[in-house]
Homo-oligomer: A and B are copies of this chain.
Amino acid sequence: MQKFEINSPLDMHLHLRDADMLALVGPLTSKSFSGALIMPNLVPPVTTKEALLSYKDRINEACKGDGFEPFMTLFFKNDYSYEFLEEISEHIIGIKLYPAGITTNSETGVSSMDIENLRPTLENMSKLGIPLCVHGETNGFVMDREKEFMPIYESLAQNFPNLKIIMEHITTKDAVELLDKYENLYATVTLHHLLITLDDVAGGALNPHLFCKPIAKRYEDRTALLTAALEAHPKLMFGSDSAPHPKHKKECCGCAAGVFTAPIALQVLTDLFEKHKKLENLNAFVSLNAQKVYNFKAIDKKITLIKKDFTVPAFYEYKNETVVPMYAGEILPWSIESIEK
């Protein structure tokens, strides 16, 4: 049977949540990935050294023994002092900026994307070499939010040429194109945005499990993202944005945004790259690019995938809740055969 080896996969955009949910979803990533960049949008968000280190401890506890490194991020505030950032810099890989109210638990994000408003923290980050991760959406019309954010990315890139700026979970052709325009712009892309369009969310029946922010866009957008991923564009990294919510918060009126892909990410990526005859680029997309962009050496881990049916669980249980993964109950052509660390 056909096999494929992924070395030290990295998920550069991940929501691990906390408490019981963390205990469930942490290992679903940590067993098969070498490391992941952890989102700080808890309630309250991670804005202090104490909160950060304590969250890191809880993650390490949930993932212990798996040979997994959580790359911590701080929730952006526009008044972080140089001293504070200098002290915390060894514990973080970047700082995540959310416009206020743009997605789950982002209520305390920045209220204005005006550069002067952000300058104090951004200058400190720039001096200290701390990358900036950005949820790049305006509060405009849902299909235009990312495209409308492009001038803000341009302005950030121009004003802070020494700052590494990561456009998180890009969903549009416009963002892919911007990647090549500024040396200091990078991006992550999710698994689901390589696979779906708005048609999958709301074209037939409404599908709450594929509802996410940014929302899935048009076919030409998906094509641009997929092309860049398959070519392992050196400035593009895999970041699942796997975002679990309890089932009752998805299948209800007022469905929460987020697609839970952690348990299927490597299997589906392998399938996707194989179908497009680009397996030779998968290790760069899912590991090497991130190590170069963020300049670190990932923990050694060898994941062997085998072309053998894998039935995705219909749900994962924790306490009295369940979480439904993408492709719940479906059969995927690739399975994880073994993990060597």
- The verdict on A205 contacting chain B, using a C-beta distance below 8 Å, is yes
* Chain B nearest CB, measured from A308 CB (Å): 28
Given known contacts A206-B208, A206-B211, is B252 in contact with A199 (CB within 8 Å)? no
Q: Which of A141, A201, A253, A254 has the most CB of B within 10 A?
A: A253
- The verdict on A215 contacting chain B, using a C-beta distance below 8 Å, is yes
Given known contacts A219-B141, A252-B251, is B197 in contact with A257 (CB within 8 Å)? no
- The verdict on A202 contacting chain B, using a C-beta distance below 8 Å, is yes
- The verdict on A135 contacting chain B, using a C-beta distance below 8 Å, is no
Given known contacts A208-B206, A251-B251, is B142 in contact with A198 (CB within 8 Å)? yes
Given known contacts A142-B198, A251-B252, is B203 in contact with A206 (CB within 8 Å)? no
- Oligomer: number of copies: 2
Per-residue CB contact flags for chain A residues 107-134 toward chain B (1 = under 8 Å, else 0) read 0000000000000000000000000000
- The verdict on A255 contacting chain B, using a C-beta distance below 8 Å, is yes
Chain B neighbourhood of A215, CB < 8 A: 202
How many of A's residues come within 8 Å of B, CB to CB? Answer: 26
A253 vs B201: C-alpha distance in the bound complex, in angstroms? 11
Given known contacts A206-B206, A206-B211, is B256 in contact with A199 (CB within 8 Å)? no
Specify which of B141, B206, B219 is in contact with A254 (CB 8 Å cutoff).
B206
Task: Name the CB-closest residue of B to A255.
Answer: B206
Task: Name the CB-closest residue of B to A250.
Answer: B253
Flag if B253 contacts A197 (CB, 8 Å).
no
- The verdict on A19 contacting chain B, using a C-beta distance below 8 Å, is no
- The verdict on A218 contacting chain B, using a C-beta distance below 8 Å, is yes
Chain B neighbourhood of A253, CB < 8 A: 207-209, 250-251
Task: Name the CB-closest residue of B to A211.
Answer: B206
Flag if B256 contacts A218 (CB, 8 Å).
no
- The verdict on A51 contacting chain B, using a C-beta distance below 8 Å, is no
8 A-B residue pairs with Cβ-Cβ distance under 8 Å, sorted by A, are A142-B203, A143-B143, A143-B218, A202-B215, A205-B255, A207-B253, A209-B253, A250-B253
Q: 3 closest A-B pairs (Cβ-Cβ)?
A: A206-B255, A142-B203, A205-B254
A: which residues have CB within 8 A of B? 141-143, 197-199, 201-203, 205-209, 211, 215, 218-219, 250-257
